[in-house]
Structure 1
Amino acid sequence: MNHVKLLVGLLALPLFTSAQQPDVSLQFKQPAASYLEALPLGNGRIGALIGGHPVKDRIVLNEISMWSGGVQDADNDTAYRILPRIQEKLLQGENKAAQQLLQQYFICKGEGSGHGRGANVPFGAYQVLGTLQLQWQDSISAWRNYRRVLSLEDAVATTTWERNGVTYKQEAWASIPANVIAIRLTASRKGKISLAASLERAENGTVHTEKGLITLRGQLPNGSQRGLRYASALRLRVRGGKQVITDKDIRIEDADECLLLFTAATDYNHTVYTQKGPDPVPVVDKILTAVAKKRYKALHKDQMRAHHELFNRNRFYLNAPLQTDTLSTPERLAHYYNGGSDAQLPVLYYNYGRYLLIGSSRPGSLPANLQGLWAPEYQTPWNGDYHININLQMNYWLAPITGLGDLAEPLHRYIKMLQTPGAKTAKAYYNAPGWVAHVICNPWGFTSPGEGAAWGSTLTGGAWLCEHVWEHFRYTRDTAFLRSYYPVMKGAAQFLRSILIKEPQHGWLVTAPSNSPEHAYIMPDGTRGNTAMGPAMDMQICRELFGACIAAADILQTDQAWKQEMEAVRRQLAPNQVGAAGDLNEWLQDWKDAEPQHRHVSHLYGLHPYDEITPWGTPELAKAAHETLRQRGDDGTGWSLAWKINFWARLGNGDHALVLLHQLLRPVDPVKPAGGGSYPNLFCAHPPFQIDGNFGGTSGIAEMLLQSHGDTAVIRMLPALPTHQDWQSGRIEGLRARGAFKVDMVWQRGSISTAAITSIKGETCRLLLPAGKKVKDRRGKILAEAAAEAQLVTFATAKGQTYSVE
């Protein structure tokens, strides 16, 4: 079968049709009572949350660089003098004393993150830009036939309702090319649109109104100083009726149609990461002047084209019966969690994660933060910052495998930016070369430890970020990218190399001092602590980063002497160890867990996202990982549940991964949130809202369907497909595999029917070929085949060519 015939086969599979399109639509039967019921729109720079109220509509507006605070010197420049004492205490088993020294000297100067409330201290916080208020003139008459739908496929939020015999329609979308949010209001009868529009911000903002234009401008605080400047504007294009201007709003009376065009900018400089960018006022004026020259249909067409190019790179379908086409999204969540059938809800969740990344990450901008870019607060939870003991990294797990690798550019560039402040921090605390970043980071280059040593002294955050650099290369085989980012990886490796010491029992090299993120141990004498030598995650990250640098040096034909040194050091690192209970040790010693069901499962980093633990390569360690997950249990915060989906998928257990996905889709009440799951608009509940669970859940589903990790990057199709009947027949197009391959698959009765593998760079393909299947080139020549059992096959490929599996 050639590729054309394969695609015909793909298209011949049944598609479900309904007004709701349950795999790509969120639907509500009521206006949003909170932002956790609102519909998110975004273009990676600006965003909105559409509440859709027919009387007083409050639309939350965001701009991704809207940060208070600023650049600061938070390093304790003499802390390195205490490092030998801390390491000595650890070597002597006096962990409590070591932790006390750490808390005294190895924390940041000043107020740090403000204990997660840093909006008015130098660390800062990501903040809401403001709100767009639409006050309809008729606030007395009741409305009916209300419907609010977000199309993920088209990135359009549509709200309709009836009042006094008139049907009203609100269409909203965020344009990537034009950098505007457009909201179009129409009615079924002429002259029926009467409302007041205003921009509002509770602090640090000034509103100005004039005919057809409302502006909101201001400057955010930087501790006791003035910080980032911002500007935003709303242009109204009205057909029919008249405008009445007040000092607070613009009132539209008896119009036929109203188009609202919003944009925003700040003076944040995305190149040098300071508030020294261009004045945002003329930037906003230029954007609105440009869109004023275009018709609505042309603007919308450009928006649709840009979104479709990204969203349609990867599509996922399950061919199971549809039984929920009349339910709203909150009703579907409840129905599914209570045991009802809804095969399309996991597909919707998968598509939603990709939609959210498209909306919150754009090349040339800042990375998606803890809330992506959607936040209604001035003091966001945990400052909406970049937590790098998993959260920022989880935001981008889905990018390479789902065909959105180019949207990780903001993350890659941000990692490179951290080198300069990170080098200063490495010198201040460890007298070390290279660079380091700890747990909390912001757009201003904060790399110091946090204000609490128990959690803030994790020192492998920067090295973990480098995993994304190496993985981007593994997926793309882009040597120009690798050459540009090799110094970033090398600097992080130099730092880790310099702080390794020999532990006394085995002579292994270990990190010291460090911890296992946010978790505590109990020593045999009853001492409870966080500070330790060589926690398992640290050693796994060291092995991964050192191995990546060794491989990169070979590929780039550079640094051979340093490469040989790294090879020698890597062999001496403390290995993974299985404890007495059969689980993987989290710490260097087999100590008890202070919280046996702790949300972090950091010592399984080697299972995912790193790939040194695999069922086929290290079965004993995979068994220990399985036992670790059993002991930790299936509960947890939203992002923790998402990580566990990826763990179980890597273990090849799709049924247990589906159990965790079911947990991740547990309905969470926005008013009284308790436990991890999903809010009505599918935002992930930590609680509160953190977007990393959405992104991690999408990554986990992708891992259930395709894997290509391990030293030789073998492509494994359907490695963890659940046995549940809803998953037995389906197709997916556009997944990516390491080695620069694109994979399309069709499966029936739980087994591959046909597949197509497209070679992007002409690399050698390694494939676990299902039993009874053959690989053919475009001319139909058989390149490999498997008889009664699945076979590992290898075949050369040509750049741009597609190879069929049938």
Structure 2
Amino acid sequence: MKLTFLKKLLFVFICSFFGGQVVAQSNHVLWYNQPADYFEESLVLGNGKMGATVFGGVNSDKIELNDITLWSGEPVNATMNPEAYKNLPAIREALQNENYKLANELNKKIQGKNSESYAPLGTMEINSTDKGKTSNYYRELDVSNAISKVSYEIDGVKFTREYFVSAPDQIMVIKLTSSKKGALSYDVNSSSLLRFKTEVKDNLLLMNGVAPIHENPGYQVVPSFLLEKDRGTRFTTLMKIKNTDGTIVSTNNTLGLKNGTEAIIYVSIATSFNGFDKNPATQGLNDKAIALENLNKAFAKSFDKLKQSHIADYQKFYNRVSLDLGKTSAPNLPTDERLLRYSEGKEDKNLEILYFNYGRYLLISSSRTLGVPANLQGLWNPYLNPPWSCNYTMNINLEENYWLAENTNLSEMHLSLLSFIKNLSVTGKTTAQTFYGVNDGWASAHNSDIWAMTNPVGQFGKEDPSWACWPISGAWLSTHIWEHYVFTQDKNYLKKEGYPIMKGAAQFFLGWMVTDKNGNLITSPSTSPENKYIAPDGFIGATMYGGTADLAMIRECFDKTIRASKVLNVDAEFRAKLETALSKFCPYQVGKKGNLQEWYFDWNDEDPRHRHQSQLFGLFPGNHITPLKTPELANAAKKTLEIKGDETTGWSKGWRINLWARLWDGNRAYKMFRELLRYVDPDGKKTEKPRRGGGTYPNLFDAHPPFQIDGNFGGAAAVAEMLVQSDENEIRLLPALPEAWESGSVKGICARGGFEISMEWNDKILKKVSVFSNKGGKTTLISGDKKQDITLKKGQKTEIVW
């Protein structure tokens, strides 16, 4: 069912004839001329809680279902290793004696359990009885209204399906139609990889099941754990058909329609999850009642009313931002072919816009549940053993998911993460005491899950400290609280929720840091996320002291906590402690290669091109390293990036694009952005010359590989970062504009201080800018050599011809 060569030629001809303006490829529609065979070709829908992965098959349409609250496990026992902290003196002594091998081994003694796993809820199938030759197949996802469609013809009869997942009605809706009266016949079934049972009662298909209980050694689910009874999170799926004609038919485990013309399938799901600290079996929500109530309410509404409510709700977020990158001559091709063409170096500005828009679409679709942020795959997971448990990896990946929340005008989506950080601060108090011997504040480590687990992982001493032993994520996460405040100017949130959590993180690090032989404050023990050094004696290890990444993140944590205390005019004494501590921090070091040192000593990395660049945190997402204020450190950061090179995993490319943008090198940022959009074959696809590595799958999912959504979010955030950068005092317009984007416009990008920016540029020069203030305030606009101070009242807008 591929487009013929002549059709493609016709597309190109028409596009050329009209100058690329009439039929140039859309910047908001993904489309294909065949069904998905692989997860990485499917189209995803979501309302921030319920997720649907649509394959769009003809005779059998598979739709994988997820609920963001369906995880293995139950509330974590934060005191799982109550005497772990007693090992710290021996680790620190080994480090003082420069016995890194011993320190590395001892560091394993402060490990705990691994995280739990995000679970696949189930798969529904729509099986059609239509047989015959299929023609004119078309499948799309329109990210401007969050609706997917499939259409095809069999023997002259046109069949269509329309799918959406509604947030206001908490329901999935699928409308099926045929162009010929009575030609629509199909049945629906539901199954799960988890323990489940299905039945049909009163024309209602029910599936009930339960998620497993297990610790997750090495990210593997041991099948025997699936057999545990009366424990775990329950789930319910309900499906019901509304028909205009034809006959509803059923068996013991299927529901269907015979000889219809139009029908609607309603899908409702719910779980018993009732919070990170509530047992989902004994203190859980009534998933059956919730699913049934949502189904009955939605069933009473017409398709058009449900669709109208869904679009209105979704577009109030999506329509805040629009991007135009100028004229394009790219032809109108299916998205997978379009991506292949772009990977060959050809121009497609609307694909670049589509990727940006898709990132915002994915965040709206996967981050609207308080306390349960988007995970490694956002909301969509078909696997019993998902990669890295589909957990919250907090040494970059969880945070990268939210880089676009504030600056692309989706602040409400940030709340899922911010409320999760609040949960971490509860379990993290116990972790600070039992694993690190610090009685003030809270700590969190490398991995977490829906139960707000904060302990260092590693299966109680079985795994490598390079990733298992890292207690610094609280520093990084706390900066998200400040970012939310500084973008929204929501002082009430900062006072009531945000600042106490920031203070708790800072308190832990005051108690955690020690003094080195030079009188400087450092961390000990220390690791640099997932990287390893080569010691002078040839030992390759991870455990060290005074890691640059640790100090960069804690520096940012202390700095933002100080600022928050000043805004609220509280805790002057505590603020003074932080200021004193900051003055004693071990300074950044520039290595012999001109790079920003990652380790306390100028030692080589085991992998010089390692995917993590944690030592550059102060440049991005932090902001205490800048080309203007700290030119030497900015140059060292640049050298570090040059040594690492551009070839890396998908999420790492997303980070590096932002780093190059902060160095105001738009062309290098754009080069990496293009490489992030390099076509990658689906994981299970067998080809003679497989295209692998970090990049983008046919459905625009980020390829680590495998799929990790953080690259989508990091890449979308980077587009905004190339166009607008800001701090509390100034807004830089077009600071990293690449030559490829010589003309364009953007509307609705947010800047720190509570401002929204819209602007136009031509020949790489800013022409016009409008600034809207949500809360009132003053800032300085900067573009090129020009500066302009502005002061606005709440709700006031100013337009400036630059």
TM-score band by shorter chain is over 0.9
Judge which range, 223-232 or 759-768, deviates more.
223-232
Q: Does 1:58 align with 2:62?
A: yes
Distance in 2 of aligned mates of 1:193 and 1:722 = 52
Please point out which of 441, 457, 461 is paired with 1:450: 457
Deviation (angstroms), 1:454: 2.6
Deviation (angstroms), 1:748: 0.9
Deviation (angstroms), 1:421: 1.2
CA contact (8 A) 2:649 2:693 kept: yes
Residue identity in the other structure for 1:694: N
Secondary structure at the aligned position of 1:320 is classed as coil
CA contact (8 A) 1:270 1:364 kept: no
Q: Pick closer, same or farther for the CA change 1:619–1:174 going to 2, 3 Å.
A: same
Q: Does 1:762 align with 2:776?
A: yes
Q: Pick closer, same or farther for the CA change 1:631–1:747 going to 2, 3 Å.
A: same
Q: Pick closer, same or farther for the CA change 1:20–1:38 going to 2, 3 Å.
A: farther
Please point out which of 588, 597, 601 is paired with 1:589: 601
Please point out which of 481, 488, 508 is paired with 2:501: 488
Q: Does 1:293 align with 2:293?
A: no
Distance in 2 of aligned mates of 1:25 and 1:35 = 18
Distance in 1 of aligned mates of 2:274 and 2:611 = 36
Distance in 2 of aligned mates of 1:212 and 1:19 = 45
CA contact (8 A) 2:445 2:456 kept: yes
Distance in 2 of aligned mates of 1:131 and 1:746 = 46
CA contact (8 A) 2:276 2:451 kept: no
Structure-1 residue corresponding to 2:10: none
Please point out which of 227, 232, 239 is paired with 1:227: 232
Number of matched pairs: 754
Please point out which of 413, 425, 432 is paired with 1:419: 425
Deviation (angstroms), 1:575: 1.4
Please point out which of 683, 686, 699 is paired with 1:681: 699
Deviation (angstroms), 1:84: 1.2
Deviation (angstroms), 1:545: 0.8
**Paired residues for 1:107-118 under 5 Å:** 107-108=111-112, 112-113=113-114
Secondary structure at the aligned position of 1:227 is classed as coil
Secondary structure at the aligned position of 1:93 is classed as coil
Residue identity in the other structure for 1:320: K
Structure-1 residue corresponding to 2:11: none
**Paired residues for 1:159-558 under 5 Å:** 159-223=150-214, 224=225, 225=228, 226-270=231-275, 272=277, 274-275=279-280, 276-325=283-332, 327-364=333-370, 366-432=372-438, 433-451=440-458, 452=463, 453-483=465-495, 484-504=497-517, 506-558=518-570
Structure-1 residue corresponding to 2:5: none
Distance in 1 of aligned mates of 2:519 and 2:625 = 23
Distance in 1 of aligned mates of 2:39 and 2:59 = 17
Cα deviations by residue, 1:185-212 (Å, 9 ceiling, x for unpaired): 0011110101111111133111111343
Q: So what's the TM-score if we normalise by structure 1?
A: 0.92
Cα deviations by residue, 1:400-446 (Å, 9 ceiling, x for unpaired): 00000111111000000111211111101221021111101011121
**Paired residues for 1:51-200 under 5 Å:** 51-73=55-77, 75-103=80-108, 105-108=109-112, 112-113=113-114, 123-138=115-130, 140-200=131-191
Structure-2 residue corresponding to 1:118: none
CA contact (8 A) 2:199 2:253 kept: yes
Alpha-carbon RMSD: 1.6
Structure-2 residue corresponding to 1:801: 796
Judge which range, 356-365 or 729-738, deviates more.
356-365
Please point out which of 742, 758, 767 is paired with 1:744: 758
Structure-1 residue corresponding to 2:45: 41
CA contact (8 A) 1:424 1:435 kept: yes
Distance in 2 of aligned mates of 1:488 and 1:16 = 52
Structure-1 residue corresponding to 2:737: 721
Cα deviations by residue, 1:141-192 (Å, 9 ceiling, x for unpaired): 1201101011010111011100011011111011110011111000111101
Structure-1 residue corresponding to 2:26: 22
CA contact (8 A) 1:60 1:131 kept: yes
Deviation (angstroms), 1:638: 0.5
Judge which range, 231-240 or 68-77, deviates more.
68-77
Please point out which of 707, 714, 738 is paired with 1:696: 714
CA contact (8 A) 2:758 2:770 kept: yes
CA contact (8 A) 1:314 1:734 kept: yes
Structure-2 residue corresponding to 1:570: 582
Deviation (angstroms), 1:272: 4.3
CA contact (8 A) 1:89 1:98 kept: yes
Judge which range, 712-721 or 732-741, deviates more.
712-721
Residue identity in the other structure for 2:305: A
Distance in 2 of aligned mates of 1:277 and 1:448 = 24
CA contact (8 A) 2:679 2:697 kept: yes
Residue identity in the other structure for 2:31: Q
Distance in 1 of aligned mates of 2:735 and 2:294 = 47
Deviation (angstroms), 1:769: 4.7
Cα deviations by residue, 1:631-659 (Å, 9 ceiling, x for unpaired): 00001110001000000000001111111
Q: So what's the TM-score if we normalise by structure 2?
A: 0.92
Residue identity in the other structure for 1:397: W
Structure-2 residue corresponding to 1:119: none
**Paired residues for 1:610-689 under 5 Å:** 610-670=622-682, 671=684, 674-689=692-707
Residue identity in the other structure for 1:360: S
CA contact (8 A) 1:147 1:159 kept: yes
Secondary structure at the aligned position of 1:398 is classed as helix
Deviation (angstroms), 1:324: 2.0
Cα deviations by residue, 1:46-86 (Å, 9 ceiling, x for unpaired): 01111111111111111111111112326311111111111
Q: Which ranges of structure 1 fall in alignment gaps of 5 or more residues?
A: 1-13, 114-122, 771-788
Deviation (angstroms), 1:94: 1.4
